[in-house]
């Protein structure tokens, strides 16, 4: 729980807004109270188990739901601090020889463009090689919806 | 006999045990808090969500600015630090013409866009002196700066509504922002990857049209047309294809409106049909790189080019067909996906089919590859 507060503080550090700080601590406080109550309810459920099983069951369910919800909220706070990054897709350049059809694929280099002529092919020194395609391949499969 | 009401039964407080009494009272308290402050708590959660996205936007925007400045330093070799100039550029705005009396607005908008383009290009040349004579590099840098500009603008608008929402503590201001945020973030991420593509000169998804045109015209002599377009005359399926694209490989969309206008006038309107190829926005659930066919002027942008093309087509009664490659906004501005590259052959098949079915042998057919021709030569 200390860690959560620290994280929250760390997050608010950047924008130095007191209002946000207030909101954040307010929310964290509520979540922590709910969590403490949930734990108390669970403890009560254990003590009540011997005398009243139904009451113990109700208490246990309430306690568990509250615990899960507050845990989820804490997890959300945490998740927000995950480092940001702009991902750079790998772009590939396809080079072809117009005469023998020899094909090579290499990584994109600055200055490449489609239909740019490059140095002659190794097999046929008279014909120049040419860039025929530049594209990125998206690795992860897009989620499909069966509708 | 009168007995006082049993208040113990009024609220079940869980019996005698002190701990259980506290717990049940606490639950009541929570319950009441949620009844009265539920909406407010919900709002705080929304504010947090928006705030996180705003942080991310700020990061993306700053990163974009950094990449832009690095690219300018690398390509342009300026003698002074370009950062202040870049910052000034990012704030550049354009006031659209007054549309109260819309007659003649297209010409005004056209003129305004010309002025803007010229002004921004001059600015780029000042920022990057050693690329000033290299049209390709200047165009690429201009595109990079425009992407950075878009990111800056998105960030500022989101920040505006966020602060306004917090100031007024209005659920509805925050809610509206929170609702469109996923789409806004998607767009911002797209611009971020566009920025990289522009800085390196990589072809982007929007270049599907120019790529098709380049494949058709490759190996034939080209000539320049008005406003950064080029044309090649290619025999295709027994017809004469006049193929137009924006001049590559620099980042450039040209002005296909002016180019098509010029070509139609040169041929005195004797054109079998006009076929436009463009990247089209796909709906969710459609596949990237799907090819679809229709009628009409397939061209985006502020509408000036579409207007000009439609005017000329109507004047000479020239039928207009369109072939589009489907992609979403993210694909359109980020480096070209393999699916889109692979769609080129399919598009060419479609174009040939349209020509064979809709025109007579010996006809002249204009084929326009609409889009940004960055990274696509000819
Ligand atoms: Zn070879």
Question: A38 touching B, CB under 8 A?
Answer: no
Q: What is the pTM of this model?
A: 0.78
Non-local CB neighbours of A40 within 8 Å, separated by 6+ positions: A63, B19, B22, B23, B26
H or E element, residue B233: strand B229-236
Tell which A residues from 92 to 121 touch B, by Cβ distance under 8 Å.
108, 110-116
Residues A6 and A23 in one domain: yes
The 10s digit of each residue's pLDDT in B218-274 is 888 988 888 889 999 999 888 899 999 998 788 888 899 999 999 999 988 889 899
Residues A60 and A129 in one domain: no
Interface test mutation site (partner B, options A136, A138, A142, A147, max chain B beta carbons within 10 A)? A136
Residues A8 and A73 in one domain: yes
Number of separate domains in chain A: 2
Residue B194 Cα distances to A75, B67, B248, B262, B329, angstroms? 33, 11, 17, 31, 11
pLDDT at residue B129, rounded to an integer: 85
- Chain B residues close to A116, C-beta within 8 Å: 249, 377
Assess if residue A38 is contained within a domain: yes
Contact B335 A112 (CB under 8 A): no
Residues A77 and A104 in one domain: no
Contact B377 A147 (CB under 8 A): no
pLDDT at residue A141, rounded to an integer: 64
DSSP state of B236: E
- Chain A residues close to B337, C-beta within 8 Å: 135-138
ipTM of the complex: 0.79
Residue A14 has pLDDT above 80, yes or no: no
Residues A11 and A44 in one domain: yes
Assess if residue A66 is contained within a domain: yes
Residues A55 and A10 in one domain: yes
Residues A9 and A79 in one domain: yes
Determine the distance separating the centroid of ligand 1 and the alpha carbon of B378, expressed in angstroms. 21
pLDDT at residue A27, rounded to an integer: 73
Q: Provide CATH code, domain B205-369.
A: 3.40.50
Residue B54 has pLDDT above 70, yes or no: yes
Determine the distance separating the centroid of ligand 1 and the alpha carbon of B339, expressed in angstroms. 27
pLDDT at residue B16, rounded to an integer: 62
Residue B170 has pLDDT above 90, yes or no: no
Question: A84 touching B, CB under 8 A?
Answer: yes
- Chain B residues close to A91, C-beta within 8 Å: 197, 200, 202, 335
Residues A72 and A98 in one domain: no
Is B94 within 8 Å of B116 (Cβ atoms)? yes
Residue A48 Cα distances to A51, A62, B27, B155, angstroms? 5, 14, 17, 55
Assess if residue A143 is contained within a domain: no
- Chain B residues close to A137, C-beta within 8 Å: 337-338
Residues A65 and A39 in one domain: yes
Determine the distance separating the centroid of ligand 1 and the alpha carbon of B375, expressed in angstroms. 24
Assess if residue A25 is contained within a domain: yes
Residue A71 has pLDDT above 50, yes or no: yes
Assess if residue A147 is contained within a domain: no
- Chain A residues close to B47, C-beta within 8 Å: 20, 23
Domain residues for the domain of A112 are: 91-136
The residue ranking higher by pLDDT, B216 or A89, is B216
Q: For residues B100 and B191, what is the distance between their CA atoms, to the nearest angstrom? A: 33
Question: A29 touching B, CB under 8 A?
Answer: no
Determine the distance separating the centroid of ligand 1 and the alpha carbon of B337, expressed in angstroms. 27
Residue A12 has pLDDT above 80, yes or no: no
The 10s digit of each residue's pLDDT in B78-102 is 888 888 888 988 888 889 898 898 8
- CA B158 to chain A, closest CA, distance in angstroms equals 15
B126: closest CA among B145, B112, B102, B107? Answer: B145
Residues A102 and A73 in one domain: no
Determine the distance separating the centroid of ligand 1 and the alpha carbon of B220, expressed in angstroms. 21
Chain-wide mean pLDDT for chain B?
87
Residues A67 and A45 in one domain: yes
Euclidean distance between the first and the last CA atom of chain A, given in angstroms as a whole number: 43
Assess if residue A145 is contained within a domain: no
Chain-wide mean pLDDT for chain A?
74
Instruction: Measure CB to CB from residue B214 to each of A24, A88, A114 and give the nearest one.
Output: A114
Q: Sketch the domain layout of chain B as residue ranges.
A: 44-199, 205-369
Contact A86 B341 (CB under 8 A): no
């Amino acid at each position: 729980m200390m860690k959560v507060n620290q994280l929250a503080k760390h997050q608010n550090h950047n924008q130095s807004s007191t209002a946000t700080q207030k909101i954040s601590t307010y929310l964290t406080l509520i979540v922590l109270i709910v969590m403490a109550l949930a734990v108390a309810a669970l403890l009560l459920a254990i003590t009540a188990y011997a005398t009243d099983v139904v009451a113990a069951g109700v208490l246990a369910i309430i306690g568990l739901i509250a615990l899960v919800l507050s845990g989820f909220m804490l997890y959300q706070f945490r998740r927000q601090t995950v480092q940001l990054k702009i991902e750079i897709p790998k772009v590939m350049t396809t080079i072809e020889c117009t005469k023998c059809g020899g094909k090579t694929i290499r990584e994109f280099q600055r200055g490449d463009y489609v239909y740019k002529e490059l140095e002659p092919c190794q097999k046929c020194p008279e014909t120049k090689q040419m860039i025929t395609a530049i594209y990125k391949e998206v690795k992860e499969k897009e989620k499909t919806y069966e509708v | 006999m009168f007995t006082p009401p049993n208040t113990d039964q009024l609220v079940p407080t869980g019996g005698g045990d002190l701990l259980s009494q506290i717990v049940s009272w606490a639950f009541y308290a929570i319950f009441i808090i949620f009844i009265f402050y539920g909406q407010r708590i919900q709002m705080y959660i929304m504010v947090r969500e928006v705030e996180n996205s705003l942080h991310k936007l700020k990061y993306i925007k700053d990163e974009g600015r950094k990449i832009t400045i690095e690219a300018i330093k690398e390509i342009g070799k300026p003698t002074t630090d370009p950062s202040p100039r870049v910052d000034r550029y990012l704030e550049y705005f354009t006031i659209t013409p007054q549309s109260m009396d819309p007659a003649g607005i297209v010409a005004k908008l056209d003129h305004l866009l010309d002025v803007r383009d010229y002004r921004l290009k001059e600015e780029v040349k000042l920022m990057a002196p050693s690329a000033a004579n290299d049209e390709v590099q200047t165009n690429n840098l201009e595109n990079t700066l425009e992407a950075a500009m878009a990111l800056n603008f998105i960030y500022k608008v989101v920040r505006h509504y966020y602060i306004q929402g917090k100031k007024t503590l209005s659920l509805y201001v925050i809610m509206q922002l929170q609702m469109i945020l996923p789409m806004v973030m998607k767009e911002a991420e797209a611009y971020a990857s566009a920025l990289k593509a522009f800085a390196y000169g990589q072809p982007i998804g929007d270049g599907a049209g120019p790529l098709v045109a380049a494949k058709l015209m490759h190996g034939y002599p080209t000539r320049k047309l008005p406003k950064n377009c080029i044309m090649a005359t290619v025999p295709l399926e027994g017809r004469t294809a006049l193929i137009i694209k924006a001049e590559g490989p620099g980042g450039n969309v040209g002005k296909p409106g002016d180019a098509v206008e010029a070509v139609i006038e040169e041929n005195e309107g004797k054109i079998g049909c006009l076929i436009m190829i463009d990247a089209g926005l796909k709906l969710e659930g459609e596949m990237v790189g799907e090819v679809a066919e229709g009628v009409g002027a397939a061209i985006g942008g502020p509408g000036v080019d579409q207007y000009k093309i439609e005017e000329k087509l109507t004047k000479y009664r020239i039928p207009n067909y369109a072939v589009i490659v489907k992609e979403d906004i993210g694909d359109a501005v980020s480096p070209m996906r393999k699916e889109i590259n692979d769609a080129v052959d399919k598009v060419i098949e479609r174009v040939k089919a349209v020509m064979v079915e809709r025109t007579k042998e010996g006809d002249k057919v204009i084929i326009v590859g609409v889009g940004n021709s960055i990274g696509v030569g000819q």
